[in-house]
Structure 1
């Protein structure tokens, strides 16, 4: 009796796996061409926690039923389902226990706030953009300097030609869509997509000759959102570290 299979337990696990699949589709639906990134992000904000609560609640009822029925297999499957439900709720639980500070209300980050690299090809007509590529001036610069004081121009020992080639290769390796490149001016513009939700951000990289050496500057701007939640700063930091 205690070793028999449990159809109810199997059903609970199946429901939990379907829930995980639904969440994955919401997160990566934009990459599948199902909707715009902001739509999937909105779905996650509205439905992920309710789905998690549903799975956990259903699993608790299932475990209680299987305990009463003295079906150990069913109890184990119910506990597994509960674990999946808690995994779905994990981001909410973590943010409640360890709340992260709210990111600065800017979506335009640059290594050079005094003379930010300018976009010459990409403009405010870019697809899905609700933000401007016109730099916000000292107001934005002040917020950035306070939030990300480590972001600054990168001084390299490479010639401008070599630095440009290396920077362009890094961008390609990261899967950025190179929109425009000018080897003579040592600059290129690209579109980078976030790994989750596939939000598109616009990037410009400019190399300035400094004798036999060079200086690398870049700028990363979100197409949507008043705050980028630190994504652009992280992208620039990662790029500089890779360089």
Structure 2
């Protein structure tokens, strides 16, 4: 009786392994397609996030089922191909659930805000970009003191940059850095020291708007930068990361230009 049962299990193991691999590929495809489907306008944001969730749950289910299948392959022996297929399915399933989990953990580690400025008392204002945000769920106005408080607690390093170069030099360097980061420049007003641009995220294609304000000082200039998402309550830290990257690149650019 055991012999018959073992033979049947051995017979169905390849089928189970390949089905799990197919399901794992589907899970990964759902994750991969969620962003482009929203970016191209094929899906609304809620539907795209639905694909994302389905991919994660499918990946979790595959990973949980692939473990016993791989264990049976090892126990029965002489099922090396099925074992390899089951392990590949397990790996893809783990990736499909691991990526959304890491994204969720990151979202939980930052405040649920989407408007970040190095000057929270007098944040740079959007002017040229304001009409482009007319239909955006997040209004163009600064989010307010509660957002400022959460930002100060989460990102205390984001402060006004003090530069030892004049405003024109700072504007020129800032424009160069914005272009190197592939932002779309909307307006550059050198006399006023104002730069406005739009950054697009790679996967979902979210539009985040940036305004840079550069003021003359007695020793050079000071630069403030504000980055704000058009959609979403939380930016999952994207705007703060963008500002940090800009600051680092600007400092490097100015160092290169020094005699």
Shorter-chain-normalised TM-score: which range? 0.7 to 0.9
Aligned with 2:48: secondary structure? helix
Could you tell me which residue of structure 1 aligns to residue 49 of structure 2? 41
Alpha-carbon RMSD across the aligned residues, in angstroms, is 3.0
- Give yes or no for contact 1:110–1:116 (8 Å, CA) kept in 2: yes
TM-score under structure 1 normalisation? 0.82
Cα pair distance change 1:176/1:163, threshold 3 Å? same
Query: Which digits, 9 at most, give the CA deviation of each residue in 1:139-191, with x for residues without a partner?
Result: 33222222221111101122211111111111111111111221222211111
- The 1-side partners of 2:167 and 2:125 are apart by 18
Could you tell me which residue of structure 1 aligns to residue 21 of structure 2? 13
* Among 215, 221, 230, the residue aligned to 1:214: 221
- Give yes or no for contact 1:12–1:62 (8 Å, CA) kept in 2: no
Gaps of 5+ in 2: 1-9, 251-259
Cα pair distance change 1:51/1:184, threshold 3 Å? same
Which stretch of the first structure deviates more once superposed, 51-60 or 191-200? 51-60
* Among 233, 236, 239, the residue aligned to 2:243: 236
* Among 120, 130, 133, the residue aligned to 2:137: 130
Which stretch of the first structure deviates more once superposed, 7-16 or 67-76? 7-16
Which stretch of the first structure deviates more once superposed, 206-215 or 111-120? 206-215
- The structure having more radius of gyration, on CA atoms, is 2
* Among 195, 198, 212, the residue aligned to 1:188: 195
Please state how far the C-alpha of 1:113 moved relative to its aligned partner. 1.3
Identify, as 1 or 2, the structure richer in helix.
2
Cα pair distance change 1:13/1:151, threshold 3 Å? same
TM-score under structure 2 normalisation? 0.78
Aligned with 2:241: secondary structure? helix
- Give yes or no for contact 2:227–2:243 (8 Å, CA) kept in 1: yes
Cα pair distance change 1:141/1:195, threshold 3 Å? same
- The 2-side partners of 1:150 and 1:180 are apart by 27
Please state how far the C-alpha of 1:129 moved relative to its aligned partner. 1.2
Cα pair distance change 1:93/1:228, threshold 3 Å? closer
Please state how far the C-alpha of 1:19 moved relative to its aligned partner. 3.0
Could you tell me which residue of structure 2 aligns to residue 22 of structure 1? 30
- The 1-side partners of 2:88 and 2:141 are apart by 52
Gaps of 5+ in 1: none
